[in-house]
Amino acid sequence: MNQENTPDPHRRPFVTITLLFFLWGFITVMNDVLIPYLKDSFDLSYFQAGLVQFAFFGAFFFVSLIYYFISLWKGDPINRLGYKTGIIVALAICGGGCALFYPAAEFRQYGFFLGALFLLATGVTLLQIAANPYAAILGKPETASSRLNLAQGVNSLGTTLAPVAGGLLLYKVFVTGDEVTIDSIKIPYLLYGSLFILLAVVVWRSHLPRFSNDEKVAAGLGALRFRHLRLGMVAIFMYVGGEVAIGSYLVNFIKDPNILGLEEATASLFLAYYWGGAMIGRLCGSISLSDIPSQARKYGYMTLTAVVVFLVIYVVTAIRIESGELFLVFMSPVQIIPFLIMIGLNFVAFVFGRGDAARVLGVFAVCLVVLLCLAALTGGSLAFWAALGTGLFNSIMWSNIFTLAIKDLKHHTSQGSSLLVMMIVGGAIVPLIMGAAADRIGIQAAFLVPIINYVYIAYYGFSGHKIIDPALTTPSAPMEAKG
């Protein structure tokens, strides 16, 4: 039998898993629309509005920490229950968190919203712990970064559509009369919750291979014994903190008179360029790090992917709804040239990376330092596109850091995954720091804050990821797939 014609048994499970990436990307970036919405509804400071991300990403820390201690005490929960059961439970929790937005709006309590966000993020945390390593092991180890970048690309489709869909639903579709009120939030989040429950049913009905390892985890620190994982945890903290902080304040940044001075509903649409840029970078990263032998074919596929995704972003950001009517308002070709130039620079950075996950990570981090300097220290269109362009270079960071950090952990993989997911708490801390800076020095100058994050990530990409742990030179039982 010709093996080339044999269908990949992991293809359908991988497609199912990518749906999870899409939905948690969508619901996570809804926070970027939620922050200015709640800020105006409850008359909050930037720091107080930043508590939205603190509640959401704080859950990642606490839930992952609990997971880690349980794995040391009782063994890895995912390994014992199975990825499928863990994913279904996580999706149900997400649905419950979304449903709580209705009573939170009914009682008009900001603290209630923060509690609902914490529960929602608890479910997303469990999804991340299960789905990221699952996507990485669904195939050949040497293409794990490519698979995870592809899944993250689908995640970015959710993050690209969320600002547009959220902005339209909150500010246009579910508006009470001619006025935006807190009641506008009720129906959208009930719809989001229904999607999580529907996906839980899809996963329950699907066949997902069961990966397990019969080797018992040795006493001690477990996965924390490995240096490249510890440094990778800091890198995840820095990356998520930087990406979330930038996205959280982009709407306010665009509203600043020194930038474009746009109204909130219009400014929120341009978040699609930030998160859409991440989608371009992740899908191109998946191709760049794949095992396609021909470089010409790789660059051809990358170019085609970038063009198609850009056109999607271009159309999506043109959508307007006024007086119940849907119409399109396109930016002129001259206006979008800066973004096209940055897509080109993104390609150049991939070339410098030479298809190596660590090198690409370092090069992209350096590019982000430059873009943040331009965003914070210039003005007008240049600062606007520099800030939006950071999405292109944030794109591959999660996938590349994650796969570098869990490389060769073997039976510690799920535990290592929980520790990496725990460090998503950076998304709770850095936006608060950036918000406090914005209250003191202004929203534009506050874009200097995340620079330190990317300096560290550059170090991890160029040096810190290297495996020097003697323990990893000893053989260990491989992960086995059980039908």
- Spans of the chain, pLDDT less than 70: 1-9, 142, 144-145, 171-180, 211-222, 321-324, 414, 469-483
Report the distance separating Cα 57 and Cα 77, nearest Å. 21
| 290-312 core/surface letters (b: 16 or more CB in 10 A; e: else) | beeeeeeebbebbeebbeebbeb
pLDDT tens readout for residues 279-290:
898 888 888 777
- How high is the pLDDT of residue 477? 45
* CB distance 143 to 291 below 8 Å: yes
Task: Return d(Cα 394, Cα 282) in angstroms, integer.
Answer: 9
CB atoms within 10 A of CB 27: 27
Structure tokens at 417: 């995954």
The first and second tokens of residue 262, run together, are 């746009």
Both tokens of 176, joined, read: 């009470």
Q: What is the spatial distance between Cα 476 and Cα 220, in angstroms, rounded to a whole number? A: 17
Tell which phi-psi region holds residue 269, choosing left (phi > 0), alpha (psi between -120 and 50) or beta: alpha
Residue 272 CB partners (closer than 8 Å, separation 6+):
160, 161, 163, 164, 313, 316, 317
Q: How far is CA 146 from CA 48, 122, 245, 290, 408, in A?
A: 38, 27, 26, 5, 17
> In this structure, is the dihedral angle defined by the CA atoms of residues 171, 173, 177 and 181, taken in order, positive or negative?
negative
The structure's pTM equals 0.75
Note the pLDDT of residue 102. 94
| 305/338 Cα distance (integer angstroms) | 19
Q: In sequence order, what are the beta bridge partners of 210?
A: 482
Close Cβ partners of 381 (under 8 Å, ≥ 6 residues apart)? 260, 335, 338
How high is the pLDDT of residue 73? 81
Residue 475 has what pLDDT? 46
- pLDDT tens profile 90-101: 999 999 999 999
CA separation (Å) from 407 to 117, 142, 227, 230, 416?
32, 10, 11, 12, 10
Where in the chain are the domains?
10-208+224-469
- Three-state secondary structure of 277-310: HHHHHHHHHHHHCCCCCCHHHHHHHHHHHHHHHH
Q: What pLDDT sits at residue 174?
A: 66
* DSSP code string of 225-241: G-HHHHHHHHHHHHHHH
Q: Which two tokens stand for residue 245?
A: 């902080």
Q: How many CB atoms lie within 10 A of CB 391?
A: 30
- The whole-chain average pLDDT of the chain stands at 83
pLDDT of residue 455: 97
Phi-psi category of residue 478: left, alpha or beta, with phi > 0 → left and psi -120 to 50 → alpha: beta
Superfamily of domain 10-208+224-469 in CATH is MFS general substrate transporter like domains (1.20.1250.20)
pLDDT of residue 83: 81
483, β-bridge pairs: none
Q: What does the H/E/C string look like for 366-415?
A: HHHHHHHHHHHHCCHHHHHHHHHHHHHHHCCHHHHHHHHHHCCCHHHHHH
